[in-house]
Amino acid sequence: MRKLFVFICLLSAGLFSSDQIPAPDQKVPILLTNGTVHPVSQPSFEGSILFENGKITKMGPEILTSPETEVWDISGMHVYPGLIAAGTTIGLVEISAVRATADNAETGWLNPNVRAERAYNPDSESIPVTRSNGVLLAHVTPQGGRVSGTSAVMQLDGWTWEDCILRTPIGIHVNWPSMKIEKSSHPKPDQKKENQRDVQMKQLDDMMEDARAYLNALENNTLKGTDQRWEAMIPILRKEIPFFIHANRILQIQAAVEWCNRQDVNMILVGGGDSWRTTDLLKDNHIPVIFEHPLSTPMRRDESTDAKYGVPSMLFENGIKFCVSASAGTFEASHQRNVPYEAAMAAAYGLPRDEALKSVTLYAAEILGIDDQVGSLDVGKDATLIITDGDPLEITTHVEIAFIQGRLIDLSDRHKTLYEKYQQKYLQKQSD
């Protein structure tokens, strides 16, 4: 039986390397034994978990193994499914202030054919840092324009963007127009703003009309030429993937729900700052919410400073399907390591602890349509998991080992390298 500390020592040998080597495919079965397993989809238990060829094959108190199985003793440790960043530009943006390193948006308002995974950089410095905190999967989303393009769920390890894809396309992203008309003492400015809003809404209606005309021509064999924009819209019209509507204000949410119902398409709300004000509407229309950035400041001056902390709890209490995400803004790609702490803050403000964990694992997977592979520890699912010394929602917890589809992941990163470097600096000063 191999002791856990042996493997930790092997992993720590890479801490002084600035470049992490993507892991090879799993070669032999691995049994994690004597640990506390937290499947998320069912009660936790003391016991073992076996995975082979990247898939979980057995779970239980005691598991018999074959001679070629590697047995890892993880006494005192905990096993959780890998955490999921439900909306991010990680891999698309490296240094937000340097335009050449930001590949998250295209020009023009209509880009449903943009594929986020094609711009994904598996060598981003943000990825190892994020991975070290237990986040092993990321829903990578495009930005810019009114219709930004399609998103993909990426595994945070691989040589190329093709290697990293877990599933694509996940959905098409729409930045919903502002519905609010600012008050003015002059009627003409108000009318201009109202006209601008109406123009933007008409653009969306025209887009759907053109996409349906294209699909009708395709199905009737009268199509002349190919338009990649409308090709990308076909899964939307067939309800194979949803629209991810990015909206925060109550008027935006109400207008988006009405429009999606009228267009007969599936919708997932992203952002959802005012989602707690529209719970009946969301519940009646079965619309999930990717609630962004509970740790952010309130949207209105008259709201309390902790207004957004309690929104996940209110969504849960009202029966809304939801998950918690860090912000997907251009400046937030490097902060996805904080995903577990976003959920932890929601737990501190009323969300049950087990629901907070599900909000960054199973519920995120269900909303993104990948729960048949990831999000919980179940037989037949991917062996994408983390081994920790405590609750991953606690800041004091360390992720000791991680696997993505059974591959042992290098958990070194730039932060750890700098920690070791400057630790030596002060040790040297003490010896002078």
pLDDT at 128 over 90: yes
Tell me what the pLDDT averaged over the chain comes to: 91
Q: What pLDDT score does 107 carry?
A: 86
Q: What pLDDT score does 182 carry?
A: 61
* Structure tokens that stand for 386 in this block: 């983390």
pLDDT at 149 over 70: yes
Domain boundaries, the chain: 2-81+412-431, 83-374
Q: How confident is the model at residue 14 (pLDDT cuts 50, 70, 90)?
A: very low
pLDDT in tens, 157-177: 999 999 999 999 999 999 999
Q: Could you identify the residue written with the tokens 């029966």? A: 319
* Topology of the domain covering 2-81+412-431: Urease, subunit C; domain 1 (2.30.40)
Residue 333, classified by CB atoms within 10 Å of its CB into exposed (0-12), middle (13-18) or buried (19+), is: buried
The mean per-residue pLDDT over the stretch 361-377 comes to: 98
The residue with greater pLDDT, 180 or 208, is 208
Considering the domain delimited by 83-374, tell me its CATH architecture.
Alpha-Beta Barrel (3.20)
Q: How confident is the model at residue 35 (pLDDT cuts 50, 70, 90)?
A: very high
